[in-house]
Amino acid sequence: MTPRPHVFYLHGFASSARSGKAAFLADRLARHGIELHCPDFNEPDFETMTASRMIAQAEAAIATVPAGPVALVGSSLGGFVAFHVAVRHSLPGKRTDTATHPIDRLVLLAPAFDFGRTPMLGVDAAGLEKWREADRLEVFHHGEGRTRFIRFAIHEDALRYDSAACALDTPALVFQGTRDTLVSPAMVTEFVSRRPAMTLRLVDDDHRLMSSLDVIWEETSAFLGLSGGPGAIPGA
């Protein structure tokens, strides 16, 4: 039997490890005796968040679990991070923990593959220059329910990563809402179409995908080899 994976949930920008999707997945996985690991990317400080820091935090969290296969579930910016963590682990000689913690599956929810290469956070060119000068951009933090500031480093750092230039053979199940106004459904569709290891599921939903959680779980549980076990959705 294929060993059950360690499952990690990588939350999105201005979200948290206690988001609705994280709680939903934690509950469903717990019925199968699987703990959901959720690094908090707001630590040590939301204002200084960058993709590089998030990738490093995800890799550090993976290193703390016992040896075994790893499945990454990433939402929005967390999907971008999951993709690049998997890319780094796939590079020969680049990762020393590949043998003990192979990343063998990805579940990506409205993944922001083009993060940093399209207008970020609704900021146009003029706004980008103002952000650069002030080094502070006001954003609403949904996880905390309040306004926070983010530094310009998140934009500069994002330019280090070109998802389109990365090859990855890790099997990935991608869910994308057709009514998403933050991550382009057309971009995700084209991105996935160029990668045979990725499977796209378009759903009639917005960016948060909260109306599609049952469908996401049904297909994700099968993808992770959990269907038919304790807590499985009837008919899954």
Distances (CA, A) of 197 to 72, 129, 175, 192: 15, 38, 14, 8
pLDDT score at 2: 64
Please, are residues 40 and 12 in contact by the beta-carbon 8 Å criterion?
no
Instruction: Read off the pLDDT of residues 180-218 as tens digits, 9 standing for 90 and up.
Output: 999 999 999 999 999 999 999 999 999 999 999 999 999
pLDDT score at 45: 96
Name all domains of the chain by residue range, CATH numbers in brackets: 6-223 (3.40.50.1820)
Pairing of strands 137-141, 146-150: antiparallel
Of 108, 233, 100, 235, the residue nearest 168 (C-alpha): 108
pLDDT score at 84: 97
What single-letter amino acid sits at 207?
H
| Ordered DSSP codes for 188-211 | HHHHHHT-TTEEEEEES--TT-GG
pLDDT score at 14: 96
Pairing of strands 198-203, 172-177: parallel
pLDDT score at 42: 97
Of 202, 155, 152, 158, the residue nearest 177 (C-alpha): 202
pLDDT score at 137: 95
pLDDT score at 4: 84
Neighbours of 55 (CB within 10 A): 22
Segments of the chain scoring below 50 in pLDDT: 229-236
**CA 196 – CA 221 distance, rounded (Å):** 21
Please, are residues 107 and 217 in contact by the beta-carbon 8 Å criterion?
no
Strands (DSSP E) contained in 11-61 are: 36-37
- Report whether the peptide linkage leading into residue 92 is cis, meaning its omega lies within 30 degrees of zero: no
Neighbours of 147 (CB within 10 A): 9
Interhelix angle 77-90/51-62, nearest 10 degrees = 60
Of 222, 182, 181, the residue nearest 201 (C-alpha): 222
Please compute, for residue 115, the number of CA atoms within 13 A of its CA located in the half-sphere on the CB side: 27
